[in-house]
Amino acid sequence: MPLIYLKTAPGEPAQTPADIADTVQVMLARLRMGGAQVALEYARDLDGWQGPVVLIGDQIAAASARVAPTLKHDIAWAHDNISRFAKAQRATAQDMEIELRPGLIAGQRQIPVQAAGCYVPGGRYSHIASALMTIATAREAGVADITACSPPSGPGGIPDALIHTMRLAGATRILCLGGVQGVAAMAFGLFGAPRADILVGPGNAYVAEAKRQLFGPVGIDMVAGPTDSLILADDTACPETVAADLVGQAEHGANSPVWLATTSRALAEAVIARVPELIATLPEPNRTAAHTAWHDLAEVVLCDSREEMAAHADTRAPEHLHVQARDLDWWLGRLSAYGSLFLGEATTVAFGDKAAGPNHVLPTSGAARYTGGLSVHKFLKTVTWQRVTPQARDHLAGVTARLSRAEGMEGHARSADIRLGTGSHALTSTG
């Protein structure tokens, strides 16, 4: 049957306005020409920061010493999960070699990029988990040089816990620099950093646009938009839990949609009634952000069957997909479009956001239809090689020459011919 919308979204997530793109383009042009001096000017004018940009050993050690032991323990626990998961991922990316025909050997190698730039957002929240997700994953991939960059949070610069986390995760250097100027510093190799081969990490609309404009000469993890989450629930789900999970994700920001698809009208109605009550108990500014996200962007959909819920999820392709329903193995095998999947009531997206292990830098805005999230694979180049012996050379050269001439590429054909000694020079020639 057609989907029944018990709550619709009167608004749509905001798109990146043209003025942001224009502003970023101008900033990048100035930073490309003026380098570190222009970056310092932007840091002063936009963030009010006139302190040191590059954190040195004593500063890092002092910041780490000020972090409470309990918080250090929690950061280390999360770091262990994230690193171990990334290490296991790295083990799945293997070099290989195959003899396709006698004397025709081909293979692949997994080579880490040399330098990565990890942007760790600041602002309203101190994104400890984002530092772990980006830096630790790059380190486990084998990246030799990792620059971590985060904006100052008031006159003290980067928060102590974030500095401690960056060092623990394996950053080669830490830059107190935010926004477009921070991204540019890593891309252009400013403040003693090498030019980054890849830029990763979430950020605001300006950071996302800077990464988009820089892509090409430098790699990026993805162009990320506002975070989004979808819950699939049947009549076994607890309305209080579902409502709390939706509120937890709506807290991200006013432009962060949350959705519920369910086969239970009673559950849907209970959740719709409960969410505003839970939002009202949040502190500010979280309460306003969650209220706007729920009011303007949230949807609650009533489905006829679990297959209809699964099809709806595949169409939506959410960043976070949480199943609170019977037969979790069925859902794991059936669902195919999501950034990360959370199975069962005992888990929550918040676990994945902070400490569970799999990466939380994930595709948004439906991009999960064609890509996954950040992983060690983003920091690896899968390159191929081939070797030919005389045993395979003659037949391969003949096929290549004939195919080349069929395509009209005579130069290619002659390059193959010479391997047979039929060109103007034989391979055995010493001239």
Span 365-413, pLDDT tens digits: 999 999 999 999 999 999 999 999 999 999 999 999 999 999 999 999 9
pTM above 0.85, yes or no: yes
Per-residue model confidence (pLDDT) at position 426? 47
Distances (CA, A) of 42 to 17, 99, 204, 334: 21, 56, 16, 49
Contact, 81 vs 356, CB < 8 A?
A: yes
Has residue 12 got a pLDDT over 80?
no
Q: Return the bridge partners of 108, or none.
A: 96, 384
Per-residue model confidence (pLDDT) at position 431? 37
What domains are defined for the chain? 4-15+226-372 (3.40.50.1980), 35-221 (3.40.50.1980), 389-431 (no CATH)
Dihedral, CA atoms, 362, 363, 365, 366, nearest 10 degrees? -130
Has residue 313 got a pLDDT over 60?
yes
Strands 299-302 and 320-324: unpaired
Q: Name which residue leads in pLDDT, 48 or 430.
A: 48
Give yes or no: 299 in active site: no
Has residue 425 got a pLDDT over 60?
no
Has residue 197 got a pLDDT over 80?
yes
Has residue 144 got a pLDDT over 60?
yes
Has residue 430 got a pLDDT over 70?
no
Average pLDDT, the chain: 94
Contact, 220 vs 251, CB < 8 A?
A: no
For 323, the enclosing helix (H) or strand (E) is strand 320-324
Residue from 140, 209, 251, 319 carrying the catalytic annotation: 319
Has residue 429 got a pLDDT over 50?
no
Has residue 296 got a pLDDT over 80?
yes
Phi, psi of 264 (to 5 degrees): -115, 110
At residue 237 the predicted structure's pLDDT band, cuts being 50, 70 and 90, is very high
Cis omega (within 30 of 0) on the bond before 285?
A: yes
Residue from 164, 320, 322, 360 carrying the catalytic annotation: 320
Give yes or no: 320 in active site: yes
Single-letter residue type at 291: H
Residue 66 CA from chain centroid, whole number: 30
Phi, psi of 88 (to 5 degrees): -65, -40
Residue 241, SS3?
helix
User: DSSP letter at 19?
Assistant: H
Side-chain-side CA neighbours of 177 within 13 Å: the count stands at 29
Per-residue model confidence (pLDDT) at position 13? 55
Side-chain-side CA neighbours of 365 within 13 Å: the count stands at 11
